Every structure is written in C-alpha cells, then in structure tokens.
Amino acid sequence: MAKVRTKDLIEKFHLELISGEEGVNRPITTSDLSRPGLEMAGFFTYYPKERVQILGKTELTFFQKLTDEEKVKRMDQLCTDSTPAIIVSREMEIPKELTDASEEKSVPVLRSPLKTTRLSSHLTNFLEGKLAPTTAVHGVLVDVYGVGVLIVGKSGVGKSETALELVKRGHRLVADDCVEIRQEDQDTLIGNAPDLIEHLLEIRGLGIINVMTLFGAGAVRSYKRITLIIDLEIWDPKKQYDRLGLDEEKMKIIDTDVPKLTVPVRPGRNLAVIIEVAAMNFRLKRMGLNAAEQFTNKLTDVITDTEHDDA
C-alpha cells in the first residue's frame, strides 16, 4: 500500500487541481523532486519520470520560446504513466499543451501560489517524513529532561510502571507498549505512538489509564527523537554489570546505532531515579563531561605517582 499519493499533496498544500484528475491516486515513491529544465530543451535520456515535477518561472519562460510543434512534443514526453504530478509554482498560467497531454495520460497538473524554491522545500520535508524507513519496537518512549529515552526489556519487567513513575516526576510520555520509529535522517530516529494507543499506559493490576486525562497535557507529547536506550533486565547474580560506565553499548534500529545502557532490575532499586540520572549523565557526556573517564584518569595518575614514590 502506497504511503503517499498525489491527492495527499493536494490536501496538505491546498494545491489547485487544473487537469488530469483521474491520476490523483497515483503513488509517490520518492522524496526527490525534479525541475525538468534539460527536458524542456529536449534531453529526456535521464528523465526521472517517477518524481514529482515542478515547473517554475525559468522552465515556463524557456518553454514559451519553443515552436508549437516542440511545445506539444515536450509536454507529451513530460507526462508519462508513472509521473505522479506536475506542479506549476507562482500561480503562473498553465500552457494548453500541458493540460492536453495531462488529460490524455491522466497526469495531475497542480498549481501553487508559492515560489518555486519554497514549494520545493515544503514538498521535500513532507515527503521525506512520510517516506522515511519505519519500524516498530516493543517498549516505552519517554521524554526525560529533553532526552528521548526508549525503555526496552522483556514483558513484565516493569517498563510501563517505570514510565508511570517518570510521568509522576514531571516527565512526558510519548508511547507505551508499541513505539513506531521512523528514520528521518542518516542518524535521526523519531518515535511516536500508534493512533490507537496514544496517551495510554497499561499497568498490570490497574488496566489501561489515560495519562493526559490523569496528569494533564503537559505529561504527554506526540513524538520525540530517540537518543538513549535503557534495557531493563532481571538481575542475574552470575552476570558482570558495568560499574564504571566506560563501556559504550549500542543498539541498531533501522540504520542508526543508538547508545544503550543495561540496567538490572531487582527489589529496592528505584528505576525512575536511575533513568533520570542516566538521562542527565548522557547530556553531560554530550557536553564533554564524562565522570567515568575523569575518575579513570585520576586513578591512573594516583597509581603513576605511587609507582614513582616507590621507585
């Protein structure tokens, strides 16, 4: 099923449909746009026909210099079976040759009042967001001190209960149980809740609660960039856990590696406080302050000084 169709652009950007109405359900498969300047000159060898085509002042001014025969031929070549739409910017007049070709091939011709560059920018941002690679992860996403913390772990380990405690402490819930994630940039992961369970938390023994109704609009947010993963696991006495914080674990989601901390769970540990401190410590590390490294360097200096004294 197509993620974006031509009619979505019409609704989103209030575009005027001029001709080719039969093609408004055509799928848009790429966020790349095309300004067919070379094509207007007759060079169609590398014509990216699957892209949305934008005709600005430059293209249409050049088009007016062509002969009547060339005008018909160019527009006929511009309209193909896989072209999702041709958009004319600046509310410029639509050439008759374009409307004729678009009706014949059912290619929607649209018009926008925006300048070409601004229109291209808006379209690219919208399409990149809609066509970004996506996945879904079982976990809870919370905004803690501005850090998007994805809490993962086996079912029943206490993810939702920890999220509830964090919300009570003033942080914001993004998603519980299922987190939809899209990769908007090379290393940018944005998480949100499916529409069906937005603002809802499932607490065993209580059932489903609506966080926004209970705690107010300030306790939730629609989406958040994921920058830290907390993996909750039942305490294993045989396992050696990181006690200094020097080990940098990563978890790969789609094509992005995200820093991951493994936090063992056992009675008496306040997980909400631990996650708060982890978020604050993560922010400090990004500012260049690493407590574990500072401690290790001090320890190395002390050992070195002791060895010199003994010598």
Question: The domain that contains 20 carries what CATH number?
Answer: 3.40.1390.20
Residues 174 and 90 in one domain: no
Total length of the chain:
311
Angle of the 271-286 helix axis to the 159-168 helix axis, nearest 10:
70
Which pLDDT score, from 0 to 100, does residue 68 have?
A: 96
Tell me whether residue 104 is annotated as binding: no
Is-catalytic flag, 138?
yes
The Cα 19–Cα 85 span in angstroms is 10
Residues 151 and 218 in one domain: yes
Tell me whether residue 155 is annotated as binding: yes
Residues 234 and 151 in one domain: yes
The Cα 175–Cα 195 span in angstroms is 10
Q: Is residue 308 part of a domain?
A: no
Task: Return the closest-CA partner of residue 64 out of 53, 75, 77.
Answer: 75
Q: Is residue 306 part of a domain?
A: no
Q: Is residue 311 part of a domain?
A: no
Residues 252 and 189 in one domain: yes
Residues 172 and 252 in one domain: yes
Please, which residues have CB within 8 angstroms of residue 112's CB and are 6 or more apart in sequence?
13, 15, 16, 87, 88, 89, 90, 91, 119
Options 12, 96, 138, 250, the catalytic residue? 138
Cβ contact 160:176 at 8 Å: yes
Residues 89 and 223 in one domain: no
Domain assignment of residue 190, given as a range: 134-295
Is-catalytic flag, 298?
no
Cβ contact 244:295 at 8 Å: yes
pLDDT score of 241 more than 80: no
Cβ contact 136:51 at 8 Å: no
0.85 exceeded by pTM: no
Options 74, 159, 172, 182, the catalytic residue? 159
Is-catalytic flag, 177?
yes
Radius of gyration of the chain (CA): 28
Q: Which two three-digit tokens encode residue 175? A: 């998603």
What digits encode the pLDDT tens for the residues 2-51?
689 999 999 999 999 999 999 999 999 999 999 999 999 999 999 999 99
Is-catalytic flag, 310?
no
Stronger pLDDT, 116 or 204, i.e. the higher one:
116
Tell me whether residue 146 is annotated as binding: no
Options 14, 65, 238, 243, the catalytic residue? 243
Which pLDDT score, from 0 to 100, does residue 310 have?
A: 65
DSSP annotation of 38: H
